[in-house]
Chain A
Amino acid sequence: MLKVPLSVDERWNLIEKISKQTVEFGARKHTLKDAIAELTVKPLTGIPVAIAVLYGFWSFFIDFAGTLFTDGFMVRLFDEHWLPWLQSVFPGGLGNPFYALLVDAGHMENGVLVASDNCLESFGVLTSGFFVPFGVVLWAVLAFYLMFALLEDVGYLPRLAVLVDTVLHKIGLHGYAIVPTFLALGCNVPGVTATRPLETRKQRFMMITLLSVFVPCGAQIGIMQDLVPELMGWIFLTLVIGYLGFGFILNKIVAGKSPEIIMDVPPYRMPMLKNIVSKLWIRTSRFLLVAVPFVLLGCLIVGLMYLTGAMDWLATVLGPFLMSWFGVPGETVAPLIAGFLRKDLAVGMLGGLMEQGIMTTFQVFTSVVLLCIYFPCLATFALMLKEENWKEFLGSIASLIAMVLVYGGLIHLVGIMLGVA
């Protein structure tokens, strides 16, 4: 008598018996789709294709979000109409605390308080607080999720996973880890959620830690691209080296298994428009829901800290440390604090500092990288608390602090050695 459940062989024998009687396989057509399906996963052809796909992704991101919407339309709208209008009609005027919080804090030039001429410098809740999410970030995130949904629905991602498995397996991760990494480039929050399919706790822990440190989100990238387009290549290179380097180290330190990949590589499929649109809508609206309140709150808190003098105090206290260890001026304290709430806002504040001309190019570069790696934004942080157990969470925080200190210091050191710091 048979034992239930059947053994693997018994079950397959039964299936073959059934299939013989019910399924008729006609002549197999080897289609163009089959050929492409294989070509895109073969290293010799697949890697160039992957580079082309990612380059196309990036170009679209820059052209659509950066050039077309932000520079072409939003910057003008905000800087030439919204800001001057508010400056002229809002009661109080320069120097009034209420006005400073909501519209324009202004800045010192030769000992005189002058009004800001753009929405990054002004730092009011109604100016920067709206410009950052709606002027820049929304378009970046929209462009990102559109491309991501396309790649996802066509079925390209598993192929990318196979191609990068070679490298990622060396640092104890799956090729599949590319999916949360990629998704985190849109926003770290869904990126952290997407680590759930990873098999072992070790892989999840590593992935969440690396994500929250080395993967900038779309909002941040959008602002970075707006501020320092010429430095983007170096910034990404630095982050990739950090991701792989610290991944390698974590893999050695963290106990646990890193099983190998066993993954179905599905055929390509025509994406469904309805599906893409609904994904785009859900992801973007979720993003706005998380981001906008934090940006506004961030503006308010930073504004209050300036007004009360807390910011200057912190800059004086932490300045020497920031200067000696990372090589960045004390003024970066403000963006670093804002970065606890929102990274995009923080990078925007850095833009304000840049326009005042108090930083060298290398200092700008270092601060942008520091902002990426030093602490995940509050939303990501909260999610980490939820996704990891206490031990893992503390581990993540400890690794995070260690990575920032070591890597930030290292960047400074390399800068000194190259003579640019």
Chain B
Amino acid sequence: MEKKLSEMDFDEEGTVKEIEETLRKQVAGMGIREGKNIRMATKQPIKGPVVVEVDESLTSLGLGVAKKIVVEVG
């Protein structure tokens, strides 16, 4: 099933399916790219940022940024 990164549950894992074009280059250097395994490490309440884990590195993304990433889960 596909969903936005922003909709993933806490501790859920998935594979990055698609990243919006403008964002792709920005997050590529941090190791976030299509085909990568991604885990939702934490979600802050009331529309706060998410923290995701890719290749053992934690990255914090604003919720609006997370909406631009589609993940295949389950």
Tell whether any CB of A sits under 8 Å from a CB of B in the complex. Answer: yes
> Chain A, 1-31, contact with B by CB distance < 8 Å: what is the 0/1 string?
0000000110110000000000000001000
Q: Which residues of B contact A275 (CB under 8 A)?
A: none
Q: Are A264 and B59 in contact (CB under 8 A)?
A: yes
> Chain B, 40-60, contact with A by CB distance < 8 Å: what is the 0/1 string?
011111111101000011111
Q: Are B58 and A265 in contact (CB under 8 A)?
A: yes
Q: Which residues of A contact B59 (CB under 8 A)?
A: 262-265
Q: Which residue of A lies closest to B56 (CB)?
A: A28
- Across the interface, A261 reaches (CB within 8 A) one of B25, B43, B61, namely B61
Q: Are A264 and B51 in contact (CB under 8 A)?
A: no
Whole-angstrom CA separation of A8 from B30 in the bound complex: 12
Q: Are A175 and B49 in contact (CB under 8 A)?
A: yes
Q: Is the interface of B mostly helix, strand, loop or mixed?
A: mixed
Q: Are A262 and B65 in contact (CB under 8 A)?
A: yes
Q: Are B33 and A260 in contact (CB under 8 A)?
A: no
Q: Are A169 and B61 in contact (CB under 8 A)?
A: no
Name the distance in Å between A50's Cβ and chain B's nearest Cβ: 12
Q: Are B48 and A37 in contact (CB under 8 A)?
A: no
Q: Are B65 and A8 in contact (CB under 8 A)?
A: no
Q: Are B62 and A165 in contact (CB under 8 A)?
A: yes
The verdict on A338 contacting chain B, using a C-beta distance below 8 Å, is no
Q: Which residues of B contact A41 (CB under 8 A)?
A: 41-42, 51, 58, 60
Q: Are A169 and B56 in contact (CB under 8 A)?
A: no
Q: Which of B1-53 contact A (CB under 8 A)?
A: 24-28, 30, 33-34, 41-49, 51
The verdict on A196 contacting chain B, using a C-beta distance below 8 Å, is no
Q: Are A162 and B44 in contact (CB under 8 A)?
A: yes
Name the distance in Å between B35's Cβ and chain A's nearest Cβ: 8
Name the distance in Å between A160's Cβ and chain B's nearest Cβ: 11
Q: Is the interface of A mostly helix, strand, loop or mixed?
A: helix
- Interface size of A as a range: 20 to 34
> Chain A, 29-53, contact with B by CB distance < 8 Å: what is the 0/1 string?
0000000011001110010000000
- Across the interface, A264 reaches (CB within 8 A) one of B24, B25, B30, B48, namely B30
The verdict on A361 contacting chain B, using a C-beta distance below 8 Å, is no
The verdict on A285 contacting chain B, using a C-beta distance below 8 Å, is no
The verdict on A238 contacting chain B, using a C-beta distance below 8 Å, is no
Whole-angstrom CA separation of A38 from B56 in the bound complex: 11
Q: Are B28 and A165 in contact (CB under 8 A)?
A: no
- Across the interface, A165 reaches (CB within 8 A) one of B30, B43, B49, B58, namely B49
Q: Which of B28, B48, B56, B64 has the most CB of A within 10 A?
A: B48
The verdict on B63 contacting chain A, using a C-beta distance below 8 Å, is yes
Q: Which residues of A contact B25 (CB under 8 A)?
A: 8
Name the distance in Å between B1's Cβ and chain A's nearest Cβ: 24
Q: Are A43 and B61 in contact (CB under 8 A)?
A: no
Beyond A8-B24, A8-B28, A28-B56, is A260–B62 a contact (Cβ under 8 Å)? Answer: yes
Q: Which of A265-297 contact B (CB under 8 A)?
A: 265-267
Further pairs besides A42-B41, A175-B49: 19, Cβ < 8 Å: A8-B24, A8-B33, A9-B33, A41-B58, A43-B42, A43-B43, A43-B48, A161-B60, A162-B49, A163-B44, A166-B45, A166-B49, A169-B48, A175-B60, A260-B64, A260-B65, A261-B49, A263-B60, A265-B57
A-B CB proximity, top 7 nearest:
A260-B62, A166-B48, A265-B58, A8-B28, A42-B42, A261-B62, A162-B60
